[in-house]
Structure 1
């Protein structure tokens, strides 16, 4: 009985092992047997690899896989169907785009509003300032309960000054008046004026016949006291500023206008003003100055608007908005958020067919109401990415996708480029020689799989060349062997001569 059970267990174990081995073999046959190959290998085998590159330096190309000499990472293959001639741009999974909540916008012809709004803050009008000074040395006898910030009327008393030196001169003047000598009287009176006595004080001395050594300094204008530098009991020298008064009949609004929009402003134009303190009320002011200095942090220019202030209800520090009216003009528009501003150029991400995206260079104009005017680089009806475009641009950069230039966009639109005189080739440009096989022909561009170029330290690789207008392309076809010479100017490789290479050479 025991032997029978042991024999049964051994047979069961052997059977189980055979089943496992058979399953593994079946899986292997399913993946690698006749008619079935490794899906990764199949995927790589079905797509033609043109070259390998480092995503961090996509401009450098290599003829075989391996580790990048620049970064500690593996080289990435560039397939033939990823070349700009096959399908421009980088492909991103539509499911990922949907999960990110990416928004798109269509380039459209519309009307760009001419109004420009800017935030503004009320400030004192620095042209309406009065300064009260001591004309001679003396002592402060009284300060009329004034303090900085007080709003006073014209003629309001500020300070009483005692000037002892005036007493003797006034007594002499009164004595001369009793002589009835007109010339002496005029000379004595002029002396009082030169000593700094105000006309009102001299008139009071003449009327009362008694000397007055105390003078009351008053405000020449109505407004707010900006500074008051004296107190009772102080001695003051001649020329000391006692008080500074700023008028409030008009105020300034200093508006921060973006530097890019400041060219639309003209001094003298009227503007509409709304203030947070008076909602629903619109006021009208006049643009009096554009300050010459641009604020470095915010890149804004200060526009100064003068506004009348009846009743003095507009107070410095109040916040408001200024609207510079302008005429609306037709323009090609995209949402402002869709424009990527790099500092050197402006880009948008084009949404193409099949989930492909390509950066495109654009030239922008004015901006208003969240819309930006496109002067060149886009066509009416094209779709652009309006949100998340920085992620798409980063992916395109890592994949080595070049942006569509303004010239390419013009050519696709069927608009002739402006006539220009061809620039002569520099005589100092060095010419290089190589041989290769034609991979693609498109217009004046040819893609060649060429051998190494030791003078440039180029390995054997496949790349696109621009063909000079003087080089004929007739008789060349894909797959043909060629000898060619080229130069590299400004990073652009241009073929200067191209000949067929006969078999056996």
Structure 2
């Protein structure tokens, strides 16, 4: 950066009028002082060679402003053209929150059937089934010999032969209470014969997840024989970054894409937002549910989910217009042709090649979109960077909703909802305004959504917007 700054200083100094190169212009412009671009804080009352570097001192003219006053950087039109400076307009657009996250297909654990033995007995036959097989509803699984059922059937047939209707009805009811299905009882009535062997069938079609029975083994009442998972619908589990979790909600529609099926889009809905976030990956798990006709989606397949949140008006600038380092985020606003002012901004999320700005800029302003690093180097040398604002711009920003209780000059009182990130309960407190213009159009009693950060000892509102009647109200 030091070498780049020296190079830019040399380029700009060649294009900007100086006393040595253009004496006739210097006579017309008032010189405030001379300075060394490498040590901009030191001022000299006459031209000459810098005591710090092997270079001539540069003049600071009155019409350029004073760096000590936080003025903008003035660059000659020829230098602007030579550096290839390009500008862009700060735009306000209706933008939908958008989340794209990877996920995997899982079996729908809500569509599960457990097949159990209803009475004690013995396994006489196991059909050709194995875990992982896909079967249809009504497919036979196992033949059982259940002695208690055989005894109850013989008793019923004997009572029915006596012709006593009351005893016959009681005996029939006993068979049902032992767990015999209505179809088996009807077969006994119809044939007049004991049905010694009972075939257990699949109550639904799907995947045999477990098969816990083998030929010749004994079974007891209530013992699980098989577990069948339906395949009519599947889950798609997604890991959403914690910072984007506010976009998702129950019942929300999502679009899924799989490499197996190319550009085809599958529609799903958010069936559950799991209550625990991963402490290792800082993600929140979502469970999407979608139909699976033809069983095209298999458990374990990976894909990508796209979720759209509600739309809201956002300020946008080209991503390249913001200079972001570990301690500041700056954009250069064009105040006039050749005059650039560094402004500390609060960047939000990126949407394609655009960056959301939550504080620092206004719609319609012109910002530098190219060669701003060269301008930034020169601004750093001249000491015109907004250090305090840049530091504040990287304070952590939190969002909440509330109601305005009082509105003053540069501050307001809000009754707001709980802020889990700060472990704040719902309460009423005072906030400063980052810009007094944020209060324009607001009034006490109005429901608002707002964003704030801690700057020094104060909590400062950096963005505040009225809520509609349907969303507003007392928090």
2:366 matched to which residue of 1? Answer: 381
Unmatched tracts of structure 2, length 5 or more: 1-34, 44-59, 61-65, 73-84, 395-406, 414-455, 459-475
Structure 2 residue 358 is the aligned partner of structure 1 residue 368: no
Aligned to 2:142: 159
| Contact 2:318-2:369 within 8 A present in 1 as well | no
Structure 2 equivalent of residue 474 of structure 1: none
Q: 1:238/1:361 Cα in 2 relative to 1: closer, same or farther (>3 Å)?
A: same
SS of equivalent to 1:127: coil
The CA deviation string for residues 359-404 of structure 1, in whole angstroms up to 9 with x for no partner, is: 935263x54335432111345434489999xxx9xx99xxx99441
Q: Secondary structure at the match of 2:185?
A: helix
Give distance in 2, aligned partners of 1:204 and 1:300.
57
Find the counterpart in structure 1 of residue 167 from structure 2: 184
Give the alignment's TM-score, normalised by structure 1. Answer: 0.53
Q: CA deviation at 1:222?
A: 0.9
Which of 124, 130, 145 matches 2:128?
A: 145
Aligned twin of 2:225: 242
Distance change (3 Å), C-alpha of 1:306 and 1:383: same
Structure 1 gap segments, 5+ residues each:
1-41, 51-80, 90-102, 410-416, 424-489, 493-505
2:244 is paired with a residue whose SS is helix
179 and 266 in structure 1: CA distance in 2 versus 1, 3 angstrom threshold: same
SS state at 1:146 partner: coil
Distance 2:371 2:153 in 1: 83
SS in 1 for 2:260: coil
Please identify, of 108-117 and 258-267, the stretch whose mean Cα deviation from structure 2 is larger: 108-117
CA spacing shift, 1:222–1:182, aligned 2, 3 Å: same
Question: Could you tell me which residue of structure 1 aligns to residue 329 of structure 2?
Answer: 348
Q: What is the alpha-carbon distance in structure 1 between the residues aligned to residue 318 and residue 223 of structure 2? A: 59
**Do the aligned partners of residues 236 and 216 (structure 1) sit closer, same or farther apart at CA in structure 2, a change above 3 Å counting?**
same
Secondary structure of the residue aligned to 2:173 is helix
Q: 1:387, 1:47 → 2: CA distance?
A: 20
- Structure 1 residue 297: deviation in Å? 2.6
User: 1:178 offset after TM fit, Å?
Assistant: 0.3
Does the 8 Å contact 1:276/1:318 carry over to 2? no
Alignment of 1:333 with 2:316, yes or no, is yes
Residue in structure 1 matching 2:185, options 202, 214, 226 = 202
User: Who wins on radius of gyration, i.e. which is larger?
Assistant: 1
2:314 counterpart SS class:
strand
Summarize the Cα distance change of 1:339–1:278 in structure 2 as closer, same or farther, 3 Å threshold: farther
Equivalences for residues 61-72 of structure 1 within 5 A: none
Q: Residue 114 of structure 1 corresponds to which residue in structure 2?
A: 96
Contact in 2 for aligned 1:155/1:218 (Cα 8 Å): yes
- Indicate the residue corresponding to 1:216 in structure 2: 199
1:404 counterpart SS class = helix
- Counterparts of 1:326 and 1:421, CA distance in 2: 31
Counterparts in 2 of 1:212-291, with a 5 A limit? 212-291=195-274
- Report if the CA contact (8 A) 1:140-1:234 is conserved: yes
Q: TM-score, normalised by structure 2?
A: 0.56
After superposition, what is the alpha-carbon deviation per residue over 1:439-478, rounded to whole angstroms, capped at 9, x for unaligned?
xxxxxxxxxxxxxxxxxxxxxxxxxxxxxxxxxxxxxxxx
Matches of 2:242 and 2:125 in 1, distance apart?
A: 51
**Shift of residue 151, structure 1, vs aligned partner:** 0.8
- Aligned ranges for residues 39-58 of structure 1 at < 5 Å? none
**Residues 455-466 of structure 1 mapped to structure 2, 5 A cutoff:** none
1:172 corresponding residue in structure 2: 155
Deviations 1:90-132 (A, max 9, x none): xxxxxxxxxxxxx999673254642623323222222211111
Cross-structure match for 1:299: 282
| Structure 1 Cα separation of the partners of residues 411 and 96 of structure 2 | 38
In structure 1, C-alpha distance between the alignment counterparts of 2:267 and 2:412, rounded to whole Å: 55
**1:58 matched residue in structure 2:** none
Query: How far apart, in 2, do the equivalents of 1:49 and 1:387 lie?
Result: 25
1:321 counterpart SS class:
strand
| Contact 1:255/1:302 (8 A) holds in 2 | yes
SS at match of 1:297: coil
Corresponding residue of 2:57? none
Provide the secondary structure at the position in 1 that maps to 2:261.
Answer: coil
Instruction: Verify the 8 A CA contact 1:335 1:386 in the aligned structure 2.
Output: no
Q: Is the 8 A contact 2:330 2:390 kept in 1?
A: no
Alignment deviations for residues 400-456 of structure 1 (CA, whole Å, 9 cap, x no partner): 9944159899xxxxxxx9725699xxxxxxxxxxxxxxxxxxxxxxxxxxxxxxxxx
**Equivalences for 1:14-93 in 2 at 5 Å?**
85=68
